[in-house]
Each structure stands twice: as structure tokens, then as C-alpha cells.
Chain A
Amino acid sequence: ETGVTQTPRHLVMGMTNKKSLKCEQHLGHNAMYWYKQSAKKPLELMFVYSLEERVENNSVPSRFSPECPNSSHLFLHLHTLQPEDSALYLCASSPSGGDGSYEQYFGPGTRLTVT
């Protein structure tokens, strides 16, 4: 049990669908992250929220839309995705937004397949 949960664990969607990924952390952390993990590639940071405000957006396509209603919940809204968006999407949290030695705690991920 890592203290970070993600739902769903697996998702298959067509290119015209709209879906949302959910992340919840039970650790009292102030920062939350979305990552994309593709096979044999480094983790790609997509979004960072610190105290519910977005502080990082690494040129992610607009078909990915994050939402952070409070410090415990993070959503990733998906629409009109492409097959190359198929990947493992990982959520993480940390005590603060980036400085210091704080490690990130990861959820189990959502395995997304776009058909």
C-alpha cells in the first residue's frame, strides 16, 4: 500500500471517447504529479500541482487536461486521444512542490490503450 491510489487500473478507449483518470493520495502531501511511462523510455513529467495550483506543464497536448480540486485529488481528463498516447499513466505525490530531498510516492498507474 503506497498511499496513492489510481482508478481505473486499465482503460481501453477509442479515439473519439472522453474519459478521466483519477488519483487520490492519503499521505497529506502538498504536491501531485502526472507522468507518462512508455516502454523503454524515461518517465515523462506531464503536470505538477503544488497546493492545488499548476506549476508545471511540459508542453503536453491539449487533449490531456488536468484538474486538481484539492490537495488529495488529481484528475486527468482525456479526449480525442491518438494511438501513440497508449502508455502507463502514473500519478505521484510528495510533501512539497519540488525543492529539497523529498521523494515522490507513486500510484500503481493506469494502463491506457487507445484503439
Chain B
Amino acid sequence: GQNIDQPTEMTATEGAIVQINCTYQTSGFNGLFWYQQHAGEAPTFLSYNVLDGLEEKGRFSSFLSRSKGYSYLLLKELQMKDSASYLCAVKDSNYQLIWGAGTKLIIKP
């Protein structure tokens, strides 16, 4: 079967750095997405990786290793507004998005 694993919950301190991991086992691979979802709101797109390596976008970076079936989202200089759930999703060989259950990130002052 197809599976996306990410930690259920993480806690970090304001101003610090946090890394949210995602491992996947899918039938084929056509890209990996990270979304942010604040409580009660719509998921919003953060990043897309299809080739190995690091994609940087401001305070957020996303890394992909296709051979390891692994990605992480790195958040720097954490702010209270970064408290949210972070969803990892992979497009399989049929271009269907397979979603993880999300990681709830709690930022403490």
C-alpha cells in the first residue's frame, strides 16, 4: 500500500529552528508537496520538490531524497504564527496526491 509518515506533533521555541520529517512509500513518484494549515483554515501551499536537494523560500526550506523516500521541512526563526499543522503529500505514478496525516507544530514563547 501507499503510506506517508510524519510525526503527529512537535513543540519548538519561538526564534528557534525546527525540522519536520516526512517519509513515504508510494507507487511511483511525481513530486512532493508541503502545505501549512492553521486551525480552522484552508491548507496553503508552501513548497514543491521533484528533484533531490534543498529548496529554500525565505524562512522555510524543503529537502528531498528520492532514493531514501524522505523529505523534511525546515522552519527557521520560528514565530508564534508558525503554529499550525504541516501536511506532506506525494504525487504517485498516477499523479494522485497521497497525503500524510499532518504534523501539529506548537510554538512556545
A residues contacting B by CB (< 8 A) are 2, 4, 40-43, 45, 56, 90, 98-101, 103-109
Contact = CB atoms under 8 A, between A and B. Distances in A.
B62 to A, nearest CB: 13
Contacts of B72: none
Interface string B54-67: 00000000000000
A106 B101 contact: no
Interface centre among A40, A41, A90, by most chain B C-beta atoms within 10 angstroms, is A40
Question: What bracket does the count of chain B residues touching chain A fall in?
Answer: 20 to 34
B42 A109 contact: yes
B99 interface: yes
Given A42-B4, A108-B41, A101 B99 contact: no
Contacts of A2: 42, 44
Interface string B35-63: 00000111111001010000000000000
A43 B87 contact: yes
Nearest to B34: A103
Given A98-B94, A101-B50, A108-B41, 14 more contacts: A2-B44, A41-B101, A42-B4, A42-B102, A43-B43, A43-B87, A43-B99, A45-B97, A56-B96, A90-B42, A90-B43, A99-B30, A106-B42, A108-B42
B41 A105 contact: no
A3 B53 CA distance: 31
A104 B33 CA distance: 10
A46 to B, nearest CB: 13
6 contacts: A2-B44, A42-B99, A56-B96, A90-B42, A101-B31, A106-B42
Given A41-B101, A45-B97, A105 B87 contact: no
A103 B48 contact: yes
B33 to A, nearest CB: 6
B60 to A, nearest CB: 14
A101 to B, nearest CB: 5
A101 B48 contact: yes
Contacts of B97: 45, 104
